[in-house]
Amino acid sequence: MSKENKIKLVADKNQSVIISPLSLSLSRAVLCHFTIVPEVGSSLLLPLAVLCHFTIDKGKAFTFRCFCLFFQAYLMGKRRNSLALCELATLFFVQILVLVTGQSTNASSWNTLSGKRPVVIAKGGFSGTFPDSSVGAYSFALVAGLPDTILWCDVHLTKDGVPICLPSITMDNCTSIADIYPKGRKQYVVNGVSTAGWFAVDYKNSDLFQVSLRQRIWSRTERFDSTGYAILSVTDLESQVKPSSLWLNMQYPKFYEQHGLNMRNYTIALSKEVVINYISSPEEGFLNGISSRVSNITKRIFRFPSEGLTDPSTNKTYASLIRNLTHIKTFASGILVPKGYIWNVTNDNYLQDHTSLVTDAHKAGLEVFAADFANDNLFSYNYSYDPLAEYLQFIDKADFSVDGVLTDYPITPASAIGCFKDLNTSRVNHGKPLIISHNGASGDYPDCTDLGYQKAVNDGADVIDCTVQVTKDGVLICMSSINLISTTTVAQSQFSSRTSIIPDLQTTPGIFTFNLTWDEISKNLKPVISAPQSAYYIERNPRNKNSGNFIKLSEFLDFAKDKDLEGILLILEDVAFIQEKLGIDVLTAVTTAVTQASYGNGTSLQVNVLSTDSAVLTKLRQDTKYKLIYKIPTNIRDASNASVADIKRFADAVAINKYSVYPEDKHFITNETNIMNRLQSAGLKVYGYGFMNEFVSQAWDFFADATVELNTYYQGAGIDGFITDFPATARRYKRSQCFDAGNNTPSYFLPVQVGALMQLIVTPAQPPAVAPFPVLSPNDVLEPPLPPVRELN
């Protein structure tokens, strides 16, 4: 470095060096914050974060790989010099880092072409969180996934022939170029399609130094756009991130040829500077042109776009090419296909039978890589919004496995490969954490129906639940809401005129269970599946929108008796209203039904009762031996000692909203509260509610993966059980080979570190602070005794 750019490293204020074992589902990773102080009398302070990933071989030797996750976009007008800062910080960091931990591996055999496990290809790095193709995305992909994660770069050429990494041929949706060059919009024909936007081919590489990368998917967080990530050339990517394996995708050779740039020649020259493990292209002519000019270690992969398109280099349709795999073998060692080529879906988004493509390609000696994976895609309803389930469908089949997956979220396929292959499904472990259904398997079937309960049992729930309601003729039924409009077709039935407003229950009109008899409900209404994320236009399993039958409490009790369960959960709400206004002794009716069903005598199942009303639980404490769970209906950050002592008098456990453990600010986890420690240290079990698979229900920190969320609440917070709409996801988590693996837990299966993702957001882009949740007090807990049952004439 020249004299004017010399720097020194000082610790952040109040600490010598900040080192935290950053889990962000990471693992053997440590985040270190530094402040950069220029030595030339400047008062400018620049933040720098270095993320180091390390591995330990059998001889206990350390291998470090460190990356700058973010830094100020400019240093004294010379952006690229920040790379030197990163190198110095990394050297300083390695000198002070001493950390020992183990790794786990998965040595299972696979149905891939080679028999080895599939590879994970990080599309533009960890582009589901950070701007695609940024140093942050690439660096994070290496520390969050498998140690040999392949980094993918979509290669585009600048006007002066520099190969750069960008996710799209047009730059305006993935960079700030429209702000820097507002008059730069052009229109070109790209492979026969007229395309408007800003193109790299119109700018020299030096012109792009002022341009920064942005998140191109608008439904993802934009908070990391303010970091000012530079556009990377391929040589930048290799020198700054040092990937163990590199995949270059040449999507538009013909387009660049039309603009006087020879992608073939640039690729051959680049291969002499950088080790390229994979080169893919949808153009046969390009792959043939480089066949004898690149290293033997470079695999050439033919990429298939939509079948309806044509290869511009040969004018052959991709539909005809996919039927001639032996021909593809003459110029490529593998194919990269949209995942729909392997598992197609119907028009209403349900899986069809898989094709024979993988088997046929393997017979022809071709590897098969599947593309278009992203945890926040709206994929087939068969996966129940669980991205890990989708990956397993491609890699863990008895008859085939793809050889690799191209993904925006490399942590999830890493987990699928390393922790979930060949799971033992023959035994159900009812130990911690308990899996408690929420209205049955309500993510797949309507609430509290026979089909929903059967699926919850099949999916491995430890406890199934029934929210008890009362009909007009006094029949106890299972119904998730006392208001039938929420859960049935009553508003479209002949009973739609029976609406009323009952302020004791709700401020809006409703048709309540006690407005109809059991026969009127069971013979005239249909259930309606819940849609908790309807604001995001996300619906659940539409083919089963109205499937299943309503059931009575007595039927629920009989159904559960002979199932492999730890127990049942009865949820009792609005008891005071029902007793005082309707004259029905709910508690006596429930306890009588439980006794008549031989619980306590003819079955070993634990009877649990949950309520938000402490008076209900106090009464049951006096009269029964049920396990009692107090549900706290509001978010809290802690509880006073007096309130915990009050809860202990009438409850064995507490149910809290998941946000009470990990509060969020604009969907970023801010901190971990004290509530788990407070309640568990008093001897109370703690169950979390609000768990569901839809990615919009999860913090950004969980990478749109419900399994990452469950793992963090169990491994990180020590929760005793999940109350979930999707018991199958929780059961598979408990069956994982990495579950409770201790020191052998791999990097991609560690809990996220609280608040770590927010720490990577530069200060101007930090979300505004929110007020903390309140502390639970005795006044929040104690309720007046239940009123006497009203005597009816």
- The tens digit of pLDDT for each residue in 564-583 reads 999 999 999 999 999 999 99
**Domain segments of the chain as ranges:** 3-96, 119-419, 430-577+589-606, 632-781
Cα atoms in the Cβ-side hemisphere of radius 13 Å centred on 43: 0
What class has domain 430-577+589-606? alpha beta
pLDDT, position 8? 38
Tell which residue, 158, 134, 266, 265, has the closest CA to residue 206.
158
- Residue 701 in contact with residue 752, Cβ under 8 Å? yes
Tell which residue, 789, 783, 779, has the closest CA to residue 650.
783
Is pLDDT at 96 greater than 70 in this prediction? no
> Cα(758)–Cα(69) distance, rounded to whole angstroms?
13
Tell which residue, 107, 377, 690, 441, has the closest CA to residue 391.
377
- The tens digit of pLDDT for each residue in 442-491 reads 999 999 999 999 999 999 999 999 999 999 999 999 999 999 999 999 99
Question: Would 119-419 and 430-577+589-606 be classified into the same CATH topology?
Answer: yes
Peptide bond into 433 cis (omega under 30): yes
Q: In the numeric block, which tokens belong to residue 164?
A: 């750069």
pLDDT, position 35? 42
pLDDT, position 66? 52
Residue ranges of E strands in 438-523: 463-470, 476-478
pLDDT, position 307? 77
Hunting for tokens 């990180």 — which residue is that?
Answer: 716
DSSP string over 687-702 = EEEEE-S-GGGS-GGG
Mean pLDDT computed over every residue of the chain = 89
- The tens digit of pLDDT for each residue in 771-791 reads 999 999 999 999 999 999 988
Tell which residue, 574, 595, 597, has the closest CA to residue 586.
574
Is pLDDT at 602 greater than 90 in this prediction? no
> Cα(739)–Cα(266) distance, rounded to whole angstroms?
47
- Residue 294 in contact with residue 279, Cβ under 8 Å? yes
3-state secondary structure of 789: coil
> Cα(442)–Cα(72) distance, rounded to whole angstroms?
47
Q: In the numeric block, which tokens belong to residue 681?
A: 């240290």
Q: Which residues pair with 317 in a beta bridge?
A: 310
Indicate the residue type of 444. D
> Cα(152)–Cα(246) distance, rounded to whole angstroms?
6
Is pLDDT at 138 greater than 90 in this prediction? yes
> Cα(502)–Cα(577) distance, rounded to whole angstroms?
10
Tell which residue, 441, 462, 377, has the closest CA to residue 412.
377
Tell which residue, 213, 215, 194, 241, has the closest CA to residue 156.
213
Confidence class of residue 106 from pLDDT cuts 50, 70 and 90? Answer: very low
- Residue 446 in contact with residue 527, Cβ under 8 Å? yes
- Residue 373 in contact with residue 391, Cβ under 8 Å? yes
- The tens digit of pLDDT for each residue in 627-642 reads 999 999 999 999 999 9
Alpha-helical runs (H) found in 514-673: 518-524, 553-561, 575-577, 586-596, 614-623, 641-650
Q: 189-198: string of b/e by CB count within 10 Å (b at 16+)?
A: ebbeeeeebb
Confidence class of residue 424 from pLDDT cuts 50, 70 and 90? Answer: confident
- The tens digit of pLDDT for each residue in 510-568 reads 999 999 999 999 999 999 999 999 999 999 999 999 999 999 999 999 999 999 999 99
What average pLDDT does range 734-738 have in this prediction? 96
DSSP string over 530-566 = --TTGGGT----GGGTT-S-B-BHHHHHHHHHTSS-S
Tell which residue, 83, 8, 87, has the closest CA to residue 40.
8
pLDDT, position 555? 99
pLDDT, position 50? 54
> Cα(68)–Cα(765) distance, rounded to whole angstroms?
18
Confidence class of residue 109 from pLDDT cuts 50, 70 and 90? Answer: confident
Tell me, which fold does domain 119-419 have in CATH? TIM Barrel (3.20.20)
Neighbour count for residue 553 (Cβ, 10 Å): 21
Q: In the numeric block, which tokens belong to residue 514?
A: 């006690």
What average pLDDT does range 147-151 have in this prediction? 96
Indicate the residue type of 737. Q
Is pLDDT at 250 greater than 60 in this prediction? yes
